[in-house]
Amino acid sequence: MKPPSTTLLALLLPLALGAAQATLSSSASTVTIGERVELRVVVRAEAGISAIRLQVPAGAYEIVGRRSLPAARTADGSTFEETVTVAFFQTGNFTVGPFQVELLPAGHGPTERGPELTGQLAIRVRSLLGENDKDIKPLKELLAIRGDPRHLLPFAAAFLLLVVLAVLAVWLLKRAKSKRSPAAAPPPPPELELETRLRELRQTDLLARGEYRPFFIALSSMLKHFIRRAYGFNAEDCTTAETLAQLKNGEQDRKIVTGLETVFIQADLVKFARRQPGGEDLAAIWPRLDALIAVHRRRREQALEAAHVQARR
């Protein structure tokens, strides 16, 4: 029997020493621009290797996804598999790889062995157009129009006249409807509008069902709408801190400012910090709002009475 050749010994030596094997394959060797290609890396390593770290070099492709499968372990070693999904956006023949694979022992500590390298793959990227699709041509030949086009001017003028008449008719119709429509009723006073909306909010039973966040979102919106009408600044576009700062400058009654500040802070805690309010906190809301409405109603009545007195003079 002849002794084994040098080539056979070179092939068997890595297996005998327990060296890892890293292979690279692809789902297709010819693709079109933008088509996704799955690059599959399989690493077979001896026992003691717990994980791998795959380094994908930059290339003429874009990485659109990566996925690792659970390792398959046997008494002789482990098999690791990772799929890298790429896409090419230019035509040509490209070489992918080699990828560098770092073997990580148990605990992911340092290893004396250097990284393994996969092989290389050749991938051809072609255009979506075929070889005979040199250009986009019209479906039909252009039709030459002979004669003097000025004979079409009367038809064009008639068409433009019809368009003008149609626009004029639509405008006159809208104007007639606007004249017939009754004038919109003036909105109720701010405190009466707030009182009505608060009554509707209480009838929704959001608090009874424990839906605190929708309740405080609706309550904050109502109060800021009331502040815009009653105090003359757009509280709906202001933060809580900005709203309270302007209220302190425009409202002389400190009880009103303190009551609104308590309600707004509690609403922010529920809306943004997901805080669950207590029963006492919820019960204290309505008296504060009733006091707010009562003060503004009294002010409006006093202003009307003063206006009547001034008119009699």
Structural domain includes residue 184: no
- The mean predicted confidence, pLDDT, of the chain is 83
Closest CA relative to residue 244, chosen from 257, 262, 226: 257
Closest CA relative to residue 245, chosen from 261, 225, 230: 261
Structural domain includes residue 1: no
Query: Can you give the pLDDT at residue 190?
Result: 92
* 94 and 203 together in one domain: no
> What digits encode the pLDDT tens for the residues 293-310?
999 999 999 988 888 888
**Is pLDDT larger for residue 107 or for residue 283?**
283
DSSP structural state of residue 19: -
> What digits encode the pLDDT tens for the residues 12-50?
434 433 467 889 999 989 998 888 999 999 998 887 788
CATH number of the domain enclosing 56: 2.60.120.570
> What digits encode the pLDDT tens for the residues 138-181?
556 666 666 677 777 888 889 999 999 999 999 998 888 777 65
Q: Sign of the CA dihedral 298, 299, 300, 303?
A: positive
- 252 lies in which domain range? 190-312
Structural domain includes residue 93: yes
Domain boundary among 126, 155, 179: 126
Domain boundary among 126, 147, 181: 126
Closest CA relative to residue 88, chosen from 60, 116, 55: 60
Residue 187: half-sphere exposure toward Cβ, Cα within 13 Å: 11
User: 219: burial class by Cβ within 10 Å (0-12, 13-18, 19+)?
Assistant: buried
Give the global pTM.
0.43
Percent of the chain with pLDDT over 70: 83
Indicate the number of domains in the chain: 2
Rounded mean pLDDT of 55-71? 88
Structural domain includes residue 151: no
Structural domain includes residue 170: no
Closest CA relative to residue 248, chosen from 272, 264, 237: 264
Look at the block and give the residue holding tokens 């503004």: 296
Query: Can you give the pLDDT at residue 143?
Result: 66
